Amino acid sequence: MTLIAMAISVAYIYSSLTIFILKGNDFFWELATLIVIMLLGHWIEMKSVMGASKALDELVKLMPEVAHRINANGEMEDVLIKNLQSGDMVLIKTGEKIPIDGIVFEGNSSVNESMITGESVPVEKNENDEIIGGSINGEGLLKFKVTKVGDETFLSQVIKLVRDAQASRSNTQRLADTAAKWLFYIASVSGILTFTIWSILGKGLDFSIERAVTVIIISCPHALGLATPLVTAVSTSIGAKRGLLIRDRAAFENARKINTIVFDKTGTLTKGEFGITDIEEVTISKDKLLTIAYSVELNSEHPIARGIVEEGKKRELERLNVADYQNISGKGLKAKVEGKETMIVSPGYMKSEKIEFDETNYEKLAQQGKTVVFILEENKLLGYIALSDIVREEAKDAVETLKDMGVSSIMLTGDNSKVAAYVGEKVGIDKVIAEVLPKEKASKIKDLQAEGRIVGMTGDGINDAPSLAMADLGIAIGAGTDVAIETADVILVRSNPNDVVNIIKLSRATYRKMLQNLAWATGYNLIALPLAAGVLFNQGIIISPALGAVLMSLSTIIVAINARLIKID
């Protein structure tokens, strides 16, 4: 802007002097054209910048303005969101946006959280479940208690992270800023030299000033100055839309160099919840066996019970009549199912009661880290069900894609080696490091770095905090409402391992666009500056100040358009 101000001032002062004092040609037409073109270029430039920052506007628009608060008398009143306090009770009607973060205390419904988390499938919400402001309620009524207000809410934290990331300066941007500073000095000196040389060659004051002004205009470092910030703004917006929240720009920029991704197992490669993997029938059909287990386990809150119940609900199994339900400590469950005594017990109970079962098959399942429960009716074995922590379907795709990108994958877990080996084999992980205590994880990351690896660590951001901080890039996955994890450089809103791949792809695409923009902005000046100075004047090639302004604006627009073309697919 200093160069532009200098060029306009010199042209205006000289033109005014030619009217009142000096003899020569004025530049008023060129000056007016220059200003119009400059303003047009600025308008296009700022429109592009604003377009890159629209992610913030879209996030702000997610929030409704009014909430249905339930007062002490149980009556409903409409109040502004800003007037809600922590502990207030709020009603959400069918199809309405959830106004603020809270915990459900009455009702059940499916909630569309895709605008917040990027998860396309609606999430079932029941009592004691957390809900996020900005998501959309489905078919049911929900009553919830406000837990977070103002800057504490999930959406406010997301907006702050996006704004901070867009404002942060990467290493490449610092390089561009330094180059722009030197270009200013080069342009100023070049302008003075151009004026001096043409004056010595006897071309006249008006010609010499025109050349000097054109040099200053055409070498204005707008394109160079915008080469990186525009790419930063665009990449941050793309990341936010995909649920990739960048906290540290420098670490994110270096993600392109990562050659090793370390995954935590539970909650990252797996869902952190039990699911059925095998159903082995003995005297009845698989469906009947599962129906009996489902009916009994509906009364239990145990994680294994929840796995069986979820499978039963998924298959829409019949619920049998269950009576006299009781929990046998350390052994299992006992109940009467349609009048018959039924038990769901552990392998230990089977061995202590000397009930025969296929021990070879059981050992094979146990070796894979699976938990096996046996279903008995009147003390006779009906069959058994194996369960394990469910491996995410996306995990295998993510690991395969990483291999194609030249990035090796390692599992680092505190779980036992059998379970870890089974999950590792299932997803195709390159190396498994198991039975590692949380405090030892950071040292394992350090060991990998000592081997010359550039390491990205992916974990839940709580137990894995030391290793996230130690890694070259700390990635918190499945952040949910606890989005502000201080140790992570990047936060993934969705619990999807494929987003780890997207982070590396986005980093590489961002860096590539930065280099393209810097190459263009630098190369443009190398060619344009000598032409503006008039080195080809004798060959009949001359650039006017107005044409210089056109070329300068065009170079800026090219940089802006190129920045908007970042893609990670």
Identify the DSSP state of 422: H
Query: What is the distance between the alpha carbons of residues 84 and 99, in angstroms, rounded to a whole number?
Result: 10
- Whether 264 is a known active-site residue: answer yes
Q: Which strands make up the sheet holding 455-459, listed edge to edge?
A: 244-246, 490-492, 473-477, 455-459, 260-263, 408-412, 431-433
Pairing of strands 490-492, 473-477: parallel
What are 312's two structure tokens?
């039963």
Residue 450 and residue 470 in contact, taking contact as beta carbons nearer than 8 Å: no
Residue 424 and residue 432 in contact, taking contact as beta carbons nearer than 8 Å: yes
Amino acid (one-letter) located at 160: K
Sequence-separated (6 or more) residues with CB below 8 Å from residue 295: 312, 319, 320, 321, 322, 337
375, containing H or E segment: strand 371-377
CA proximity to 436, closest of 466, 398, 461 = 466
Strand partners for 125: 109
CA proximity to 394, closest of 120, 46, 4 = 120
Q: Of 88, 101, 264, 460, which residue is the catalytic one?
A: 264
Query: What is the distance between the alpha carbons of residues 246 and 253, in angstroms, rounded to a whole number?
Result: 10
Sequence-separated (6 or more) residues with CB below 8 Å from residue 386: 276, 277, 278, 279, 280, 365, 370, 371, 372
Pairing of strands 332-337, 340-345: antiparallel
Sequence-separated (6 or more) residues with CB below 8 Å from residue 520: 223, 227, 555, 558, 559, 562
Q: Could you list the active site residues? A: 264
